[in-house]
Structure 1
Amino acid sequence: GTHMAHGWCLLIAIDGQTGQVIDRQWCHQENTAACTALFSRIPGPDVLITDGLRGVQKACHACWPGTRIQRCLVHVQRNTKTDPTLKPRLQAGKELKRPSDQLTRVHTIEEAVRWGEALNAWHERWKTPIDERTMAKDDPANPKASHQSWWWTHQELRRCYRRLEHLFQDRQLFAFLEPELTAGGPVERTTNRLEGGVNPPIKRTLLQHHGLPESHMRRACEWHCYMKTDNPDPASLIRDEHHQPQPAPKRETRQEQDEPEHYGTAINWNEFHTPVRYPNTTL
């Protein structure tokens, strides 16, 4: 989705192989209702590549029950780096960062299996620390103690691992490698075709023309989407009245406006200045 001024968001669906825009949907939030309205107009694909928004996945299950989901590996890496930070302080975080960095380097089924084994080995090594809890009575100064009786001591690290574990078990990390899905052609594993091909020109337009009225902003975004569709034909949008435009209204002449015909004849400069002779000593 591309966010713009006035609280609008533009959801865009593209073909993962060609990068062409299939359909779009204006909304105020990237929620299930907006995604359902978009998906309901599109035949169900074999695979949906998504960045992981819950609304997208719920709409996919409702509209396309037989469609597999492939999570964008770049977004998974980004989320993994956000939780324990780019430079983890704990040794467990440093070791978990390795399989996250290896996600985009998996190209075969065998490598995917080894990746899952490495993640399981990490859990076996660090399952005790990530299951550790902190009781509110032991840390009353923590803001969480005001509304929780306990919390996971290493919550960010645990959330990072659980995300990778669930995605792997749900077969959403390496769906792009499964033979039954690749039989019709290669399957994308990221949303780069959307993030790098369709969204940037729309965002640049909104930035460079931020003074446009809301309706014009939306038309400009829709025009970019149209030019990214299959075989766009801008000439087909020209109507008959565009070939025979209405004549511009006649402008009044200066005579009709009771104004002087030529510049400089309306005001006499001498009327505002007293003529004075130059002294004889002036050269």
Structure 2
Amino acid sequence: MPTSLNSTTCLLCGTKLVKNGRHPSGTQRWRCTSCGTSQTRKRPDLTQREHLRAFVSWLTGKRSQPEIDGTQTGRSFRRRTAKCWTMRPHLPPCNTIHHAVMVDGIWIGSWCLLIALSDTGHVLAWQWCSGETTAAWSALLTKVPPPAVLVSDGGTGLPSALRQAWPHTWHQRCLFHLQMNVTRHLTRNPRTKAGRALRALIQHLSDVRDEDQAIQWQVLLNQWWQEYGYLTRERTLLRNGYFGFTHDRLRKAWLLVHNVVRKDLIFTYVRYGNPRTTSPLEGGVNAQLREMLRRHRGMSEEHRRRAAEWFLTVREIGIDEALATATTAIEKPRPEPREEPEGPALYDTGLDSGEGLWMRAGWAGRG
């Protein structure tokens, strides 16, 4: 009779089974009291779950496939867990309002992964995108309740998304990224006195702790402008015949600092006590994510994306809850090849004598 492999009745006579010891693997063995056949109950759901658990443990851990499988090549492990690449985890929706949220993007192949991290170190949400655009940042911010302060590295598209999604949230520019961007323009050893003074002033931002020090720093910045500001407006004739700024790098560094101070994005941490850098996100989550991808180098781009999702989910809610949230990823069907119409092609890549590509021979054209 057609019965399930997990049925408690005999597959031959339909009699109810009774327990009959255990299999050497530890599985419960069942025996039919009528015909005497013995069998074990199959649990494909448990088998799939354990395969997925071993897959996630390998993906987020440091053990290799042969070490987990106990073989020389790990081929059996890859065969058992091949379907696990189609399983996609999901973080539960974030409903808690946090004091500060740090956001940053990390590139994985041709995809950019935007991550939101709370000031307590919890991953709140992530968003895949093709670049740090306003639409991508808006999609990420709408997944998280508006906090008091947002800390970022000044990525493009974020200010517009912040005004749309979280209009009442204060913005803190990461001081470390600000210092690095200024150093990129001025280098570590500026040639001019004005460049050395401006870079030293930016490096002293790390020493500002209270409002008095913040006011004193802004006074020093204003003094720098009064002494060296004219250099940012000087022009000279370039080799191409056009006039350009004489101290272009100094001008770019000054405009970068001036815009951050003018928009009040630099000393938000003094008033509200929020983190002043995105180091907990970049030095913590992003660094660990890069290390995980480095251990499993050689994966395809799609597998790297799935590995990043499993890593963030397991880090936040643990492997047991992550397995419960896994669903099968929906794959887009491949487009079917277009059928070629019957008959001669009107436009094609072949050559034809009617196009005048060859030299004519014979009596054609003679009068």
Report the TM-score when normalising by structure 2.
Answer: 0.58
Cα deviation for residue 30 of structure 1 reads 1.5
- Counterpart-to-counterpart distance in 2, 1:168 and 1:228: 36
**What is the SS of the residue equivalent to 1:42?**
coil
> How far is 1:104 from its partner?
1.1
- Partners of 1:59 and 1:165 in 2: CA distance: 22
Give 1:110's aligned residue.
212
Q: State how 1:56-205 maps to structure 2 within 5 Å.
A: 56-134=158-236, 138-139=237-238, 141-142=239-240, 145=241, 149-178=242-271, 182=272, 186-205=273-292
Q: Percent identity between the aligned chains? A: 35
Gaps of 5+ in 1: 240-283
Matched, 1:209 2:302: no
CA distance in 2, matches of 1:207, 1:97: 35
Q: Deviations over 1:22-41 (max 9, x none)?
A: 00001121211111111112
1:82 Cα deviation (Å)? 0.8
Give the Cα separation in 2 of the matches to 1:228 and 1:110. Answer: 40
Tell me the CA shift for residue 161 of structure 1. 1.2
Could you tell me which residue of structure 1 aligns to residue 314 of structure 2? Answer: 227
- The corresponding residue for 2:116 is 13
Distance 2:314 2:132 in 1: 23
**1:173-220 Cα distance to aligned partner (Å, 9 max, x none):** 000111xxx3xxx31000001011100111112222122233321121
Mapped to 2, the partners of 1:87 and 1:26 lie a distance apart of 38
CA contact (8 A) 1:198 1:228 kept: no
Q: What's the RMSD between the two structures over aligned residues?
A: 1.5
For residue 259 of structure 1, what is the aligned residue in structure 2? none
The whole-number CA distance in structure 2 between the counterparts of 1:62 and 1:201 is 31
Q: Which residue, 9, 31, 34 being the options, matches 2:133? A: 31
CA distance in 2, matches of 1:204, 1:40: 29
Deviation digits for residues 220-263 of structure 1 (CA, Å, limit 9, x no counterpart): 1112211332xx14223446xxxxxxxxxxxxxxxxxxxxxxxx
What one-letter code is carried by the residue in structure 2 that aligns with 1:216?
H
For the residues of structure 1 that align with 2:162 and 2:189, how far apart are their CA atoms? 35
- Rounded to whole Å, the distance in 1 between the matches of 2:289 and 2:164 is 29
SS of structure 1 residue aligned to 2:115: strand
**8 A Cα contact 2:172 2:267, kept in partner:** yes
Q: Aligned equivalents of 2:323 and 2:295: distance in 1?
A: 26
Give the distance between the partners of 1:86 and 1:151, measured in 2 at CA: 24
- After superposition, the Cα gap between the structure-2 partners of 1:92 and 1:228, relative to the gap in structure 1 and judged at 3 Å, is same
Question: Higher strand proportion, which one?
Answer: 2
Note if contact 1:201-1:224 (Cα within 8 Å) is conserved in structure 2: no
Superposition pairs for residues 251-266 of structure 1, below 5 Å?
A: none
CA contact (8 A) 2:132 2:156 kept: no
Matched to 2:128, the amino acid is W
Report what 2:148 is aligned to.
Answer: 46
Structure 2 gap segments, 5+ residues each:
1-104, 325-367
Distance 2:323 2:281 in 1: 29
Distance 1:205 1:132, change over 3 A: same
Aligned length: 220
